[in-house]
Amino acid sequence: MEQEAIELLPDVVKLARAAGRRILEIYAAGFEITQKDDKSPLTAADLASHKLIMAGLERLVPQWPRLSEEGAEISFSERRQWQTHWLIDPLDGTREFVQRTGEFTVNIALIHEQRPVLGVVHVPAQDLSYFAAQGAGAWKQQAEGAFDAIYTRRAPAMLQVLASRSHRSERDAKLLAKLPEHAEINAGSALKFGLVAEGQADFYPRLGPTSEWDTAAGQCVVEQAGGVVAGTDFQPLRYNTKESLLNPDFYVFGDPLYHWKSLLTT
């Protein structure tokens, strides 16, 4: 599977970029906003990106099932039989898209035996891609230029901590109060995973609901860059293990050797 993921990575990056271009066309032209059953926003860009990615993956590897945020619900009785599947968020950060912050992403991950082995996080408004595959490291590419290897960094004296632009709570404030003096960076969507992976930030806590398609691609990028994505039990996030597709609360650490556990469990 490792070699297959490495060989597929360039094509999946191209597919994410194509979806990003389609999203930007709609972003520029204007769009209507509807609501899904959970009251989250939905736009034509979500659906256009979904259709493009699903068709592209069908052409690449028709034998592997595809699970997308904007696709039909698939029961766990069927999903639990999957050893390998694609996990897609066609437009992560729809609120950022609607608010025109530019901090929205296209996320495509390949899950094998409950772990992400390939991940692409594309930021259309910045024409920026983060991507990784197990055994191939993590990379960053601006536009269609050269791509550079990225790595998480050793935690500095002044931690750079990522906070969600759209989701803040009292629980977040209490958690951050446990940290030593630090600076906060606001960002939206899976872009936060990329910032940790390339060493611009050290810690991203998420205490609140997310779904598996929100995190899988970013987790692969962070892990291959040297970091950790783990639940509050400090065990790595796993995928397709239960009926619900909701994640537990989780932490993203750039430096796995820093004393996170002693700080956060006191």
CATH number at residue 209: 3.40.190.80
Together in a domain, 220 and 260: yes
Please indicate, yes or no, if residue 123 is contained in any of the structural domains: yes
Q: Which of 123, 149, 175 is a domain's end point?
A: 149
Residue 185, CA distances (Å) to 10, 174, 193, 232 in order: 30, 17, 13, 21
Note the pLDDT of residue 40.
63
User: Mean per-residue pLDDT for 55-59?
Assistant: 97
Using pLDDT thresholds of 50, 70 and 90, give the confidence band for residue 186: confident
User: HSE-up of 260 (CA within 13 Å, CB side)?
Assistant: 27
Torsion, Cα of 250, 138, 240, 37 (10° steps) = 70
**What is the C-alpha separation between 210 and 207, in angstroms, rounded?**
9
Residue 167's domain spans which residues? 159-264
Please indicate, yes or no, if residue 154 is contained in any of the structural domains: no
Together in a domain, 74 and 143: yes
SS3 of 145, please? coil
Considering its fold, how many domains does the chain have in total?
2
Name residue 163's amino acid. Answer: A
Note the pLDDT of residue 166.
58
Residue 140, CA distances (Å) to 10, 131, 216, 237 in order: 12, 6, 17, 23
**What is the C-alpha separation between 247 and 173, in angstroms, rounded?**
20
Please indicate, yes or no, if residue 113 is contained in any of the structural domains: yes
